[in-house]
Amino acid sequence: MICPRCDDSRADKIFEAPEDGSWELYRCPRCYFVWRNTEEEEVTNPDLYDPRFKLNEEKIAAMDPKPPIPPIRKENRTRHRDGG
């Protein structure tokens, strides 16, 4: 599968609709773009993807790093004084 955003050929299916297989979810390991196979062709087809949003090696290298996702808090968090 070719990524519509950066044209990398390593994009892979990462998920499928669990009950009826009516949609599939794909992700690119190079630019991290994620898309469903049910989206319009302007999103799924690399040739039709808006050139303003295309990424190349230079643009990807210049991107800010993604911040890490913090760990999930425990359920026994302190409640607000108003009870919320």
Tokens 């990424």 belong to residue? 55
- Assigned token pair, 1: 């599968």
46-60 pLDDT, tens per residue? 999 999 999 999 999
pTM: 0.73
Q: Where are the domains of the chain?
A: 12-62
10-42 pLDDT, tens per residue? 999 999 999 999 999 999 999 999 999 999 999
**Are residues 49 and 3 in contact, defined by beta-carbon separation less than 8 angstroms?**
no
